[in-house]
Structure 1
């Protein structure tokens, strides 16, 4: 038997796919629709209105939470991506067994339950007598962004032809010049994809942020959880819809970057 396996011919596959699609995206559709509800009750539609989006723009606590999340996500994703790039380059230079151990060690945070990471991070900061605030948030987010940024960078690095580096070395390029003129430009698509992925992970994180954030460093996920505890409101839907739009924009940029890398 040759050719690609056609799973569409299997009985029940189409129906299961449609059910899964509805299960995944119906809640998002409800959030978006009810973000335009004019009434104060989430579960009862009272008419179309932009009042909750206007309240998002007018409330200072919402703006502060958004600003905190953006600052942490930008700094943590940038720092995490740089460290991930250096780690990827270091792994390539290792022997086979050492590189496997290094990849496994760096990928471990993806497998560890996030609550364990959160407790461990908090305990580490307490041991060092760090006061919880923006600095602890950035450090914690940088640490867990590294594995996510490493994935696309390693994938991009694995696709590079070693002959390119050999040719550059034969032409006299070495050290910093080889990295700046050859390696870095070829890694740009993977670096961009890794940075965007790390940005989304950081922007979305609640659990670790809740453990290491201080009273003046509330991020948007922490702020939304606080609103939910006081009762559901269409304001939560409006903020969630805006956050969803940002996520879609970043993922679209990551997809375009990956396509560009593939066809370059």
Structure 2
């Protein structure tokens, strides 16, 4: 019995950790393959996902990226940047209105916000296409229709993320600031906004990732414009160039850098406050 209790205790202490490690390994194996293939020289074989020989040419010669891939990357980054900027601004304002104010239809608005997140992308993409066609944009599908579509589906994610951050704030903090003779504007910028900022940044990063990565909605509303996911899908029929893995690796490293930098800054700020 003592041995059985010891086994149960050991499993209780290590099972969750072991499962967590397995999940991380399962998640990062595809990313590791992408990183590895970004250094692969596939010129000797038509099988682009068989590692042939280590090379840095995929990283050192971006000017050789053929078939319009560089243009598709620039287009995706441009759309993701502007969609993130507009969706974050509008979504943050909407989140403050839904959390801090009471108005008719507030409960319905909270429900409607989740509809774009819950709806299949094919439904939302075809609905937006029908809207653009009926509005006279059918022959002008391109950058602006993609941007409008991305802003619309990013809004829900921004509102939900910022709302979650606002819901965890203590309203007494602002009251305490105003008790110390701060105006409402000063209390907002010096107390509320710094506390909400991590949620806003998280919402912006999520919006950028969703916009840069989207394929279904973009494909239905792109016209002749080709974003990076569309380029990857199109090139898969004739062989994906290794430079695609370079873009994937670079985006992953940028995301890791942002997360690590934010965590380091948070730790330093905590140490400074503790001191």
Kindly indicate whether residue 53 of structure 2 is the aligned counterpart of residue 47 of structure 1.
Answer: yes
| Residue 253 of structure 2 corresponds to residue 219 of structure 1 | no
On the 8 A contact 2:174/2:188 being kept in 1, the answer is no
Alpha-carbon distance change, 181 to 10 in structure 1, aligned in 2, over 3 angstroms: closer
Deviates more, 1:144-153 or 1:122-131: 144-153
Q: Which runs of 5+ in 1 are unaligned?
A: 1-5
Instruction: Give the C-alpha shift of residue 220 in structure 1.
Output: 1.1
Work out whether 1:229 is the aligned partner of 2:232.
Answer: no
| Structure 1 contact 189–257 (Cα < 8 Å) conserved | no
Q: 2:46 matched to 1:36? A: no
Aligned length in residues:
257
For the Cα contact (< 8 Å) 1:153–1:194, is it kept in 2?
yes
* SS in structure 2 of the partner of residue 229 of structure 1: coil
Unaligned runs of 5+ in 2: 1-8
Structure 2 residue aligned with 1:149: 158
Counterparts of 1:164 and 1:11, CA distance in 2: 40
The structure-2 alpha-carbon separation of the partners of 1:164 and 1:7, relative to structure 1 and needing over 3 Å to count, comes to farther
Q: Does structure 2 retain, via aligned residues, the 8 Å contact 1:196–1:250?
A: no
Question: What is residue 26 of structure 2 aligned with on the other side?
Answer: 23
Aligned pair 1:239/2:242, yes or no? no
- Normalised to the residue count of structure 1, the TM-score between the two structures is 0.81
Between stretches 135-144 and 28-37, larger displacement belongs to: 28-37
Residue 72 of structure 1: how far off its partner (Å): 0.7
**Correspondence for 1:89:** 96
Across the aligned residues of Structure 1 and Structure 2, the Cα RMSD in angstroms comes to: 3.2
SS in 1 for 2:39: coil
Q: Name the structure 1 match of 2:170.
A: 161
Instruction: Return closer, same or farther for 1:250/1:8 CA change in 2, 3 Å cut-off.
Output: farther
CA displacement at 1:180 relative to structure 2? 4.9
Question: Higher Cα Rg: structure 1 or 2?
Answer: 2
In 2: Cα distance, 1:257 partner to 1:201 partner: 25
TM-score (norm: length of structure 2):
0.78
Indicate the larger mover: 147-156 or 161-170.
161-170
1:115 to 1:228, Cα distance in 2 relative to 1, 3 A: same
> Structure 1 33/262 Cα, relative in aligned 2: closer, same or farther at 3 Å?
same
- The one-character-per-residue Cα deviations of 1:179-237 (angstroms, maximum 9, x if unpaired) are 5565434422222221111111111111111111131x321111111111222443333
Q: CA deviation at 1:70?
A: 1.1
Identify the residue that residue 3 of structure 1 maps to in structure 2. Answer: none
